Structure 1
Amino acid sequence: MKNRLTYLLITLVFTGMRPSMQAQYNPQLSDFGKMWPFEYVPAEQFSETYQFQAGGEWLDDVRMAALQFANWCSASFVSPDGLILTNHHCSRMVLERIMKEGEDFDAHGFYAADTAAERRTPGLWVRQLVKIMDVSDRVMQATSGAETDEEMISLRDSAIYAVMEEVSEQEDWENLEIEPVLYYSGVKISLYGYKRYDDIRLVMIPELQAAYFGGDPDNFTYPRYNLDFTLWRAYEDGKPVNSSGFYYAFNPDGVQDGEPIFVVGNPGSTERYRTIAQYEYDRDYRYRIQLEWMKTNYRELEKQFEESGDRALQEQMFMISNSIKAIQGIIDGLYNEELMDRKRQMENYIRRKVTDAGGEDYWEQLAREYRKISPEMMEVLLLGPQSGNSGTVLMAYALDAYLEALEDEEADTSELRHFREMLPRIAESLSSGEEKTNLTNLLVFMERYADDDDDYVAAILDGDTPEQAAERILKETLFTREKKMERFLKWDAEKIRKKDDPVILMAMTLVPEYVRSSAIMNGNVDIRRALENKIAREMFGVFGLKLPPDATGTLRISDGRVSGYTYNGTEAPYKTHFFGMYDRFYSFNGEYPWILPERWQDPPVQLLKEPLNFVSTVDIIGGNSGSAMINRNKELVGLVFDGNIESLPGNFIYDEEVNRAVGVHAGGIVAALRHLYGADRILAELGVE
């Protein structure tokens, strides 16, 4: 009997049968995170977990104090007079618009001593979500007779537009920006009404080195020491907005270990409903190529910045370095077998429920579609005529269009004249100092990711290394010689096509290859989206509103607790202090990027004891920057500015054990305003004199 049992167990293992494991699988709903739209907040769960009443009035008050900061960040009202709090890194890209000659807010910061000195910023706006209407049932009724996916989408969009037209005429929706929002792949549909504020004025911003202390090396890490905040003010009719009915009161002492925390903001996007086939595509093609290309671009920008010190280049470097770490974190997560196994088990759980009930295997159908597009990813990502590509590639596209015009019997002389004026201007970029490097970098990627049947890559390289090929192409092409260029513009299409020129060769090989790859990529996009929608709806059919939808840039609330965590064999404390910032400053001998501004060089002892940053288990993603971190009393206790390195896989899975949101402690903001900036009028307005 014992031998028979042993044989049975061995057979089960080696045939891949695990019936008991499948039967015992308990779906981990927390993997999908906690980013709840306000109309689907699990209020009873909040109340039970955190021991307070999280009902309608509490949620309404919390929602009304929150703001969307332009189209890239979050913010909130923090006083009765329209004072707005967000991050420094959300604000710095608009500072050029308001700095006067001789001013440098990066080096010296800015503080308006009174309201008259507050600087209006052209083009900057914030929005407040004041109305929500669930229109799901009405729209679903309008689409009930659809026989195809295309017809359903058409009927759905028409129904949404009709409801928007009706709502816009209602008095309480008057003058609001009305937008439809689709959740769970269109199973649930809401209309959002936003009040927009266009007169936004700068009140206070600290120096760059205080806000971005530690720079890129410290980005996405913890313990952390950053004063990453900015204060703005919203005005209406030339006066500060009366926000007395919707603001978060400041509480500089509200962060305690284990204390419930809620983040209210606009998370950009997550991809937690994708399938295993899609995640493998992301890991092996989409993110991998993007990451390597970004690293290449960053190195080139770094060289240019060292030579010029151009602030615009520095802005680009900030954004790219942030993206590099974020994408690397996602890729690392996609290689994490434990995380991927959790996603795989959930997919198999839903998939089995659908197929056992006689439904179609949408997952396998979607996997087949992704196998078609995977080999085309390099061409689509890197070989297009997008701005910032190699000048040689842009020249190839211009030549392709010119040849098409020459061969078009209906092309008029003005069109040809336009090309003949444009081509010499584009050709000038081939003689720039950076073009050899740009072209070499592109050829490196083409060689690295070429498939066996990509003959066009071999033809362009012609047996050379990418660097040799770039040098040869730029040396041999007629487009770097003015006289030859003039003669070229008199040729007909046949003569151009016969010309042995490396850039013309690229026009006749690389461009068609990009067009072919794009056609394949776009050719099944509707099929892929339809399958994604069907899978998401199957998920909703099983779990309903127990799972939050993916982030879409709309207002969400996320719950968690203040909590440190284990890392690198030790414990990360739940909060840090200004003392730690100065320790890091001196430990690195005050060298970049651990530099402190001049006014910070001789701090009072009281400042060193004050908290600066803290961490909690709330669920955040890009777009949450500037989000308010509030307690059960609707008081602001912190400001989201980052996540730890372990949170980066949060794009596709949330892991409460290690995911941490990093915030600026409200007590740290108050301490800096008091001890470093002498901002007494702001402290009085915040009620924390």
Structure 2
Amino acid sequence: MKIQLRFALLMFLFTTTVSLPMESRGDEGMYLFNDLPLQTLKQQHDFVPDAQWADDLRLSSVRFNSGGSGSFISSDGLVLTNHHVASDTLHKLSTSERNLIKDGYLAKTHSEELKTPDLELNQLVSIEDVTDRVNQAVKADASSDDAVKQRRSVIATIEEESFEKTGLRSDVVTLFGGAKYHLYRYKKYTDVRLVWAPETAAAFFGGDADNFEYPRFNMDATIMRVYEDGKPAKLENFLRWDSEPLREGELVFVSGNPGRTQRIFTVAALEYLRDDRLPYILDFLRRKEILMQQFGLEGTEQTRRARDELFGIQNARKAYTGMLAGLQDPQTFVTKTAREEQLLAKLQNNPEHQKLAAAWQTIAEIQDDKREMLKQTVSLRSELFDTAMQIVLLTSEDLKPNDQRLHEFTDASRESKLQSLLSEAPIYRDLELAKLSDEISRLTILRGAEDKLIQEILAGKGPRERAAALIEATKLDDVTFRKQLVEGGHAAVLESSDPMIQLARALESEYRRIRERNEEIEERERQAYAKVSQAVTAIEGTGGYPDATFTLRLAYGTVKGYSEDGEQIEPTTNFAGAYQHAAAHQGQTDFDLPESWMKAKSKVNMDTQLNFVCTADIIGGNSGSPVVNRKGELVGLIFDGNIQSLTSDYLYSDAQARAVSVSGVGIIEALRSIYDAGDLADSIGK
């Protein structure tokens, strides 16, 4: 799956997040680190992790701001993640002369480690329950609009106080539909450097044909290093490495940051996803896929420039196609509808809980509002325009008290925002022209050519002609110019003659109107789901886990094969299988192993475990998550899910759905036998 699904795209596709207690079945569950399923683990697997085990794993895990997960794997700052999680960074570090995504990279010394332009890693240091303070700040009789402002204000205040007190990134996370709010404090690492990455041919061996499939034979791994004060960071918490291959039936744990799930959604909400939201998303992705493919056909350099974004789009398209197929299967709704009807019947038969049943009708009505807002947008998804809009919003929000700002522009979020805005990563004007002209055309279709705002955007020109004029005259690809605007504040933005800034200013009012309307809908939905949560708890009891929120969770499962089309799929693969798979698909480019693998064939231990599957409950965002054993030792690296796992956003089943990982012993074998990186291999886990 390349289960990361580029995080920015994920946030665009699903902006509303609610979460409620889930009734766990089998190895289902994405559990909070401060509320682990100790009793369930004892009953199902005769294992109870102690507090030290959990703390060590939590502090050894990291979150990538680009979307995805990772882990510390040495005392001197080494970090393990997926190649596809690192691909955004590899793309930004590449040039026409040095294609790191295609050719890979190995730093033989610290001085050769390449500094990333804007990567931020987050280590979860502490969790604090701030539920009472948040709930007390929102008046019981507040309108949805007022409730949004009151909640935003108190959350901004809590985050600011925490940041000023600790210096740590501080995020208030909404859990269980607003029934709980937790303050997560993170240590940030912003000096991150590339150490090793394999070639794409090894990391994405099998290409789109094998994506979401199993068996797999991928080396989807990359190693980076965090620095502090210009030197490799000295870490107390990092994962040791198990030198033995996994066995079928072995218990494993996944510590990562799953993005968003919708498992608590009502039938009406799932119908909206099936009939409206997902088809809209897929139309968008197919359009962008064609655009990136056409741009890449213009030349080798254009292919390189478009590759990372095209890969993310294709991956998302395949993932959402699978999700939609699952929702279009009538059987998906049979169980969901039956459970909902039973729950509502029990509520109606209990005078004490009858009022809670109205929440389901409220949610159904809210879906109509979401349908109305679905195509209302003024976003023009190009890097230059996005940068312009972010600068316009930042300088406007800076004029407000901290507790009244949009969340991403508060004092607690400012450092991360500026790191992104002032990134020195290259911006390619030819790619921007293709993207912006297509976005203007798409927006013209959505809003209508006679729309007043469209007329202002076009300024009497066609979409491509207008995009070309904007890109030719803007200076926003100059970091110094961006910095001047940010430091000059609102006055500098108002005075700026840069056409991209002027366009963002023209669209700011409509952007805010749409955002405020969506936030008001989200607030009503949040309050309705809070009542659903209350009803579920009243009828079915407490316990379980909340929907995923791109924050650290613990999942568990066993190494286990499955049956597909009458064939038993074994849980592990080895290097011999990779070479056999390549030979069986000779002549198909996506199945060509890189030259380094072919040259090293005689040195590779063919029996070494390469990939494996387990029943752990994962989704997008878990890419790069470490897989550990009962001792807390690293045994694998999550990189994918099989095709049967694509319904996991809203429905878990361990009948066939599996999480796919690179084996830890396979990574070491590749480093030693293929990449001549014995010193790096020796330093891992120490």
TM-score per shorter chain, which class?
0.7 to 0.9
Contact preservation (8 Å) 1:590, 1:596: no
2:460 pairs with 1:423: yes
2:232 pairs with 1:240: yes
The farther-off stretch of 589-598 and 193-202 is 589-598
CA distance in 2, matches of 1:124, 1:534: 39
2:278 pairs with 1:281: no
Residue 574 of structure 1 is matched in structure 2 by 571
- TM superposition shift of 1:675: 0.5
2:305 pairs with 1:312: yes
Q: Give runs of aligned pairs for residues 124-139 of structure 1, distance below 5 A.
A: 124-139=119-134
2:217 pairs with 1:225: yes
Q: Give runs of aligned pairs for residues 456-535 of structure 1, distance below 5 A.
A: 526-535=523-532
| Cα distance, 1:55–1:143 mapped onto 2, change above 3 Å | farther
Structure 1 counterpart of 2:342, from 327, 349, 373: 349
| Cα distance, 1:626–1:401 mapped onto 2, change above 3 Å | same
CA distance in 1, matches of 2:46, 2:29: 18
**What is the SS of the residue equivalent to 2:648?**
helix
CA distance in 2, matches of 1:685, 1:426: 54
- TM superposition shift of 1:338: 3.2
Amino acid at match of 1:269: R
CA distance in 2, matches of 1:274, 1:538: 14
**What is the SS of the residue equivalent to 2:132?**
helix
Amino acid at match of 2:51: G
| Cα distance, 1:177–1:44 mapped onto 2, change above 3 Å | same
The farther-off stretch of 354-363 and 423-432 is 423-432
CA distance in 2, matches of 1:403, 1:261: 54
Residue 262 of structure 1 is matched in structure 2 by 253
Residue 599 of structure 1 is matched in structure 2 by 596
Residue 670 of structure 2 is matched in structure 1 by 672
CA distance in 2, matches of 1:274, 1:370: 11
Amino acid at match of 1:634: G
Residue 16 of structure 1 is matched in structure 2 by none
Residue 488 of structure 2 is matched in structure 1 by none
Residue 176 of structure 2 is matched in structure 1 by 184
Contact preservation (8 Å) 1:107, 1:597: no
CA distance in 1, matches of 2:521, 2:122: 36
| Cα distance, 1:257–1:34 mapped onto 2, change above 3 Å | same
Structure 1 counterpart of 2:645, from 647, 654, 670: 647
CA distance in 2, matches of 1:377, 1:341: 29
CA distance in 1, matches of 2:183, 2:109: 39
- TM superposition shift of 1:29: 3.5
Contact preservation (8 Å) 2:145, 2:520: no
Structure 1 counterpart of 2:57, from 52, 55, 62: 62
Residue 49 of structure 1 is matched in structure 2 by 44
| Cα distance, 1:92–1:538 mapped onto 2, change above 3 Å | same
CA distance in 2, matches of 1:152, 1:305: 47
Amino acid at match of 2:109: D
Which protein has the larger Cα radius of gyration, Structure 1 or Structure 2? 1
Greater relative contact order (CA < 8 Å, ≥ 6 in sequence): 2
Contact preservation (8 Å) 2:449, 2:455: no
The farther-off stretch of 187-196 and 117-126 is 117-126
- TM superposition shift of 1:70: 2.0
Contact preservation (8 Å) 2:179, 2:530: no
What are the Cα deviations for residues 465-523 of structure 1, in whole angstroms up to 9, with x where unaligned? xxxxxxxxxxxxxxxxxxxxxxxxxxxxxxxxxxxxxxxxxxxxxxxxx9999999888
CA distance in 2, matches of 1:53, 1:520: 46
Contact preservation (8 Å) 1:33, 1:548: no
Residue 391 of structure 1 is matched in structure 2 by 441
The farther-off stretch of 38-47 and 538-547 is 538-547
CA distance in 1, matches of 2:264, 2:325: 18
CA distance in 2, matches of 1:157, 1:402: 29
Amino acid at match of 2:439: N
Q: Give runs of aligned pairs for residues 600-615 of structure 1, distance below 5 A.
A: 600-602=597-599, 603-604=601-602, 606-615=604-613
What are the Cα deviations for residues 34-68 of structure 1, in whole angstroms up to 9, with x where unaligned? 11111221123224433333122211111000000
Contact preservation (8 Å) 1:604, 1:675: no
**What is the SS of the residue equivalent to 2:275?**
helix
- TM superposition shift of 1:31: 8.8
Residue 29 of structure 2 is matched in structure 1 by 34
- TM superposition shift of 1:208: 0.8
| Cα distance, 1:60–1:282 mapped onto 2, change above 3 Å | same
Amino acid at match of 1:651: D
2:213 pairs with 1:215: no
- TM superposition shift of 1:316: 2.4
Contact preservation (8 Å) 2:255, 2:554: yes
| Cα distance, 1:253–1:276 mapped onto 2, change above 3 Å | same
CA distance in 2, matches of 1:249, 1:314: 34
Residue 272 of structure 1 is matched in structure 2 by 263
The farther-off stretch of 144-153 and 215-224 is 144-153
CA distance in 2, matches of 1:364, 1:208: 49
Amino acid at match of 1:286: R
Residue 339 of structure 1 is matched in structure 2 by 332
Unaligned runs of 5+ in 1: 1-26, 406-418, 433-513
Contact preservation (8 Å) 1:112, 1:204: yes
Amino acid at match of 1:117: E
Contact preservation (8 Å) 1:132, 1:191: yes
CA distance in 2, matches of 1:252, 1:590: 36
2:255 pairs with 1:249: no
CA distance in 1, matches of 2:306, 2:35: 42
Residue 623 of structure 1 is matched in structure 2 by 621
**What is the SS of the residue equivalent to 1:93?**
helix
CA distance in 2, matches of 1:392, 1:177: 37
Amino acid at match of 1:321: Q
What are the Cα deviations for residues 513-538 of structure 1, in whole angstroms up to 9, with x where unaligned? x9999999888565444323332343
Structure 2 counterpart of 1:685, from 660, 683, 686: 683
CA distance in 2, matches of 1:103, 1:287: 38
- TM superposition shift of 1:614: 0.3
CA distance in 1, matches of 2:343, 2:212: 34
| Cα distance, 1:96–1:333 mapped onto 2, change above 3 Å | closer
What are the Cα deviations for residues 426-473 of structure 1, in whole angstroms up to 9, with x where unaligned? 5726999xxxxxxxxxxxxxxxxxxxxxxxxxxxxxxxxxxxxxxxxx
Amino acid at match of 1:391: S
CA distance in 2, matches of 1:177, 1:430: 37
CA distance in 1, matches of 2:312, 2:204: 13
Structure 1 counterpart of 2:75, from 80, 95, 104: 80
The farther-off stretch of 116-125 and 670-679 is 116-125
What are the Cα deviations for residues 328-350 of structure 1, in whole angstroms up to 9, with x where unaligned? 11112112333322222222233
TM-score (norm 1): 0.74
Q: Give runs of aligned pairs for residues 141-160 of structure 1, distance below 5 A.
A: 141=136, 143=138, 146=141, 156-160=151-155
| Cα distance, 1:175–1:632 mapped onto 2, change above 3 Å | same
CA distance in 1, matches of 2:168, 2:670: 37
| Cα distance, 1:51–1:303 mapped onto 2, change above 3 Å | same
**What is the SS of the residue equivalent to 2:25?**
helix
Residue 637 of structure 1 is matched in structure 2 by 635
CA distance in 2, matches of 1:142, 1:515: 24
What are the Cα deviations for residues 315-338 of structure 1, in whole angstroms up to 9, with x where unaligned? 222111111111111112112333
TM-score (norm 2): 0.75
Contact preservation (8 Å) 2:603, 2:673: no
The farther-off stretch of 344-353 and 577-586 is 344-353
The farther-off stretch of 283-292 and 664-673 is 283-292
Root mean square deviation of aligned Cα: 3.3
CA distance in 2, matches of 1:544, 1:56: 26
Aligned length in residues: 561
**What is the SS of the residue equivalent to 1:618?**
coil
Residue 204 of structure 1 is matched in structure 2 by 196
Residue 536 of structure 1 is matched in structure 2 by 533
**What is the SS of the residue equivalent to 2:531?**
helix
| Cα distance, 1:297–1:670 mapped onto 2, change above 3 Å | same
